Amino acid sequence: MIYIDSSEIIANLKILGLNAGAEPDDIHSAFRKLARELHPDVTGSKSDFRFRQVTGAYNALKNITPEELESLAQEHNVNIIEYKAEKARREEAEKLSAKIDGILERYEQEFKNYYANPSGENKPDINAITFRLKSSNPKVINAALRHSGHLVKRVEFRRAVTDILRRPEIDETTANIIGSLPFDDMTRKLIALDSADNAKNLPAGLILSLTGTDTDVIESFLMHVKPEDASMILRRWPSGKIMNMTVIRFLLSSDDARVLVPVLGAMKDNFPKAALQHKKRLAELETHSAAAVRAWAKKLSRL
């Protein structure tokens, strides 16, 4: 074998997505996986550099002996027993993931078969859909949502979607699918109002989809969203509409310019009389660290 110092070995392992502690079969497996993904026959020329980089790293490592790799692991204080245990856990997780993917593929095919039935008798029913929407696996949820357009007016479906939107974490793909479902205005409003108290965990795109220009929904979301999202929906406040005084008071209590600037602007343009109820707070905001907040506060104080 051509001698390669340990730093070069580590650099080549990292190119293959590996670290000290890797074994010869890890190197071979990592290379095969990356080569299949990056081969020019698959990606064209866009991954050419990366493919050559991976191939070069593999050529530099393929003849390294297990003893040399073990010595490298010791040099970097890698616990071989723990490394192998973690490797086994990772392989088991990958097998489980592959098994789940297989089940989901069959599930998707079943749905396609249902829809291919001219009579429509086998169209997925509400119980089949809502059962899958309770899953903790985003892939299961998304597969069900993609085939639920015919159920958007059902109360059971609306409640199942609301339950998803009340979870601590919302998958981005799930949020996009829900945002694109053909809900009527009232159903969308009910879903929005029922999930508003979890708005801080919802992606921005879904927030825009749910709030629209409905002032009741916007006000509910403004009490719970992150500052950057409050700014986003405040800038869509409907012209000429008056905001609830409790919501105004809550927003003005913030010290975040991302909230204060748009709410002060909305107040000036749409409900300037509300400034009379908040003169004390406006006076405080005239000394705010953000110039835009100071400017808006001064305009409103002089009304």
| Mean pLDDT calculated for residue range 12-18 | 88
Contact status, residue 76 vs residue 20, Cβ threshold 8 Å: yes
| Mean pLDDT calculated for residue range 198-226 | 92
**pLDDT-wise least confident of 51-55, 106-110, 147-151, 198-202:** 106-110
pLDDT of residue 124: 57
Q: Is the pLDDT of residue 60 over 60?
A: yes
CA–CA gap between residue 204 and residue 210 (Å, rounded): 10
Q: Global pTM? A: 0.60
Question: What is the full DSSP assignment across 35-95?
Answer: HHHH-HHHHTTTTHHHHHHHHHHHHHHTT--HHHHHHHHHHTT--HHHHHHHHHHHHHHHH
* Phi and psi based region of residue 36 (left: phi greater than 0; alpha: psi -120 to 50; beta: remaining): alpha
What band does 114 get if pLDDT is binned at 50, 70 and 90?
Answer: low
pLDDT of residue 121: 45
Q: Scan for tokens 């293959």, then name that residue.
A: 16
Q: Scan for tokens 């059971």, then name that residue.
A: 156
Q: Domain map of the chain by residue range?
A: 6-78, 124-213, 237-303
CA–CA gap between residue 115 and residue 222 (Å, rounded): 40
Between these two residues, 103 and 140, which has the higher pLDDT value? 140
pLDDT of residue 4: 52
Please name the fold of domain 6-78.
Answer: Helix Hairpins (1.10.287)
| Mean pLDDT calculated for residue range 265-286 | 91
